[in-house]
Amino acid sequence: MRLAKHRGKFCAVWYENGRRIRRSLGTDDLTAAKRRLAELDRARQRLREHSVADLYKAYAAAKGRARIRDAWKALAPTFGPLGPAQITEGLCRAYAQEREARGISTGTIHTELLYLAAALNRAERLGLIEKAPHVWKPQKPRPRDRRLSREEARALVDAAHMPHVRLALILMLGTAARVGAVLDLTWNRVDFDRGLIHLDNPERAETTKRRATVPMNATVRAALEAARAGALTDHVIEWGGKPVRSIKRGFRAACRRAGLEGVTPHTLRHTAATWMAEAGVPMDEIAQFLGHSDARTTYRVYARYSPDYLRKAGRALEL
């Protein structure tokens, strides 16, 4: 870093990744300029001390989401020891290729690199780094349109041999809730008198993934009443007297026994929304059930499943 003059004012000049950078020091006084140059150099030295691992872990702690923490297990060997300025498009592409060679889906790789970019952008906003590097990501694949028939859904529930997995599946199908909301549900938010389930946890940090208050149907009520009678904890989904953090293994085992392929926990939420649309439920109501803040999102994804979708337009084209 050196001192220079530009348009009558002193400025600092340095090179970063082969690019010349100039920053005004806001003075034409040499003594003041030297002092500010030294302060800027010390500040940049402090910025260089942050590793990607430090910045990502701070981001994960702030968000408190298991998926973000889990993504770091894959990202850490490649990006952890580096400084932010060392991240390049070539490195990101090499990471993606290595993950693909291990059989990891493009969607998962996209999400991992998306979290990395979000962590670095947060660091820039907080002033922890001077500028977040561009994080290349593979193109996000189109969402899979996998949904269950009623027969497949019943087969999946019947194939869940563990009672806590079975209850979770019934709740996911009967409330259209995400798996995280179901695992987070506590008995004080299950209102048997009014027949309502308050999926949102008031102690949960605000996120873009909203949780709704939904009615319990007969199937859900029966499952909840049976579970409540033997409850040992405050959590609805429990096993061995402890809250359950994940049903991944039990879910995969149930899918395998039911002979279902390409099914994820999110498939159940998509299935529930599709069933509502096919039954002619208005998009605004489905949006509220799903916790969508904007019904346009619901309409874009689920309107085509409505029995009346484009029927009027089709009739207008009769010969």
Q: Are residues 7 and 102 in the same domain?
A: no
Which residue among 125, 140, 163 closes a domain? 125
Pick the more confident residue, 147 or 144: 147
Query: Could you list the residue range(s) of the whole structural domain that residue 224 is in?
Result: 150-305
The answer to whether residue 311 scores a pLDDT higher than 90 is no
What pLDDT, in 10s, does the model give residues 174-231? 999 999 999 999 999 999 999 999 998 887 766 667 888 999 999 999 999 999 999 9
Q: Are residues 283 and 197 in the same domain?
A: yes
Task: Report yes or no on 270 lying in a domain.
Answer: yes
Residues 6+ apart with CB under 8 A from 217: 174
Task: Report yes or no on 40 lying in a domain.
Answer: yes
Give the best-scoring range by mean pLDDT among 13-17, 42-46, 275-279: 275-279
Task: Report yes or no on 268 lying in a domain.
Answer: yes
Q: Are residues 250 and 293 in the same domain?
A: yes
Average pLDDT over residues 260-273: 93
| pLDDT classification of 244: cutoffs 50, 70, 90 | very high
What pLDDT, in 10s, does the model give residues 182-197? 999 999 999 999 999 9
Task: Report yes or no on 319 lying in a domain.
Answer: no
Q: Are residues 300 and 154 in the same domain?
A: yes
Q: Are residues 204 and 279 in the same domain?
A: yes
Q: What is the pLDDT of residue 100?
A: 93
Which residue among 109, 125, 141 closes a domain? 125
| pLDDT classification of 145: cutoffs 50, 70, 90 | confident
Q: Are residues 161 and 276 in the same domain?
A: yes
Task: Report yes or no on 133 lying in a domain.
Answer: no
Q: What is the pLDDT of residue 207?
A: 64
Task: Report yes or no on 260 lying in a domain.
Answer: yes
Secondary structure of residue 45 in the 3-state scheme:
helix
How is residue 165 written in tokens?
């997995």
Average pLDDT over residues 131-155: 89
Q: Are residues 157 and 283 in the same domain?
A: yes
Q: What is the pLDDT of residue 20?
A: 84
Residues 6+ apart with CB under 8 A from 246: 66, 183
Average pLDDT over residues 296-302: 90
Task: Report yes or no on 142 lying in a domain.
Answer: no
Are the C-beta atoms of 267 and 148 separated by less than 8 Å?
A: yes
Domain count, the chain: 3
Cα→Cα distances 162→170, 232, 249, Å: 13, 16, 11
Task: Report yes or no on 310 lying in a domain.
Answer: no
Cα→Cα distances 313→279, 300, 306, 319, Å: 20, 17, 14, 13
Which residue among 125, 159, 186 closes a domain? 125
